[in-house]
Amino acid sequence: MSDGDFVREPLGVQERITADGSSSWPVEPGRYRLVGARACPWANRVIISRRLLGLEPVLSLGIAGPLHDERSWRFHNDPGNVDPVLGIEYLREAYEKAVPGYSAGVTVPAVVDVASGKVATNAYLELEEDLATQWREFHRPGAPDLFPAEHRAELDALSDEIFHDVNNGVYKCGFARSQESYDRAYDALFARLDALSSRLAGRRYLLGDTITQVDVRLWVTLVRFDAAYHGHFKCNRTKLTELPVLWAYARDLFQTPGFGDTIDFLQIKQHYYGVHRNLNPSGIVPKGPDTSGWLEPHGREALGGRPFGDGTPPGPPVEGEQVPPPA
């Protein structure tokens, strides 16, 4: 590590929500509200998990708008700039109710206890797993197994590589403070993408024939790559659309229920180009790229596999959670 490296801030409310009530927060249908943002890849991972597992009836979803300032994520797309369930304008309010004088980062995803208005957790990694395991009683019939026991060690190892080199790697490029740090992150990013291309050339998903959580974790970065990371974060060796295997893989998942129906490309661009004024002082949001290609045939069916294994796809997004189609 050098002085120019980007270092992600630690999370501030790393609680767990558990089925047996052994934690501070027990699983209870209707008790909590998941707060995310269409722009944020870390929130997108949890939103996709919620969709795939069918937890919409028991865990409501609030969406912060793509723009925010030093006061945090804001519900500026909701009527009156207020979340209709939590009754707050800035997500920081829920963090400060949980931790008076809260001074760490205000991040999404965050799960808020509706009655008290307190953030229960913003530990996105644990939240992904807890939705798949601790909330199992409330999964829809046919929900996939996103953490298959027989692949768990491989899933964890691959997730760790993808996190450091890809998910966080694009941020290491974008927020590097020295040429050395940028070059190192850039080289690691594209070396990992090349390795993943080779891995996916002969298999439909990262761990074989069905979708697992590691596919969710990689995909949220891929879907934002050309719209934000290629230009805004200087990850410009190649576009996603110039990487044939990864581009087909990403389109395959985009067209799978639970993935593309969570994506709003305009909000993604509004956030990255509008908020990071140190990287884009004008705040101008680019009109491109053309996103209609996400709906083109991908040909990955030839590799076989069943996206949901012995399960079934989720139904359409619930009322109020629809996103615009790519254009």
Q: Among all residues, which ones are annotated catalytic?
A: 40, 171
Tokens 């807890």 locate to 130
Q: Is 167 in contact with 8 (CB distance < 8 Å)?
A: no
73 belongs to an annotated ligand binding site: yes
Which residues have C-beta within 8 Å of that of residue 143, sequence separation ≥ 6?
A: 52, 53, 54, 311
Q: Where are the alpha helices (DSSP H) in the chain?
A: 41-53, 92-98, 124-133, 152-162, 169-174, 179-200, 213-224, 230-232, 244-254, 265-275
| For residue 307, cis peptide bond before it (omega within 30 degrees of 0) | no
Burial (CB < 10 A; 0-12, 13-18, 19+), residue 56, is middle
Hey, what are 182's tokens? 């940028």
Continuous segment of H or E residues that includes residue 25: strand 25-26
110 φ/ψ angles, rounded to the nearest 5 degrees: -140, 140
Measured in whole angstroms, the distance separating CA 148 from the mean position of its chain's CA atoms is 20
Q: Is 125 in contact with 155 (CB distance < 8 Å)?
A: no
Beta-ladder partners of 73:
68
Dihedral angle over CA of 273, 277, 280, 285, nearest 10:
30
Would you tell me how many other CB atoms lie within 10 Å of the CB of residue 140?
Answer: 16
Q: Is 227 in contact with 199 (CB distance < 8 Å)?
A: no
Q: Is 290 in contact with 255 (CB distance < 8 Å)?
A: no
Beta-ladder partners of 26:
18
Give the residue ranges of the annotated binding site.
Answer: 73
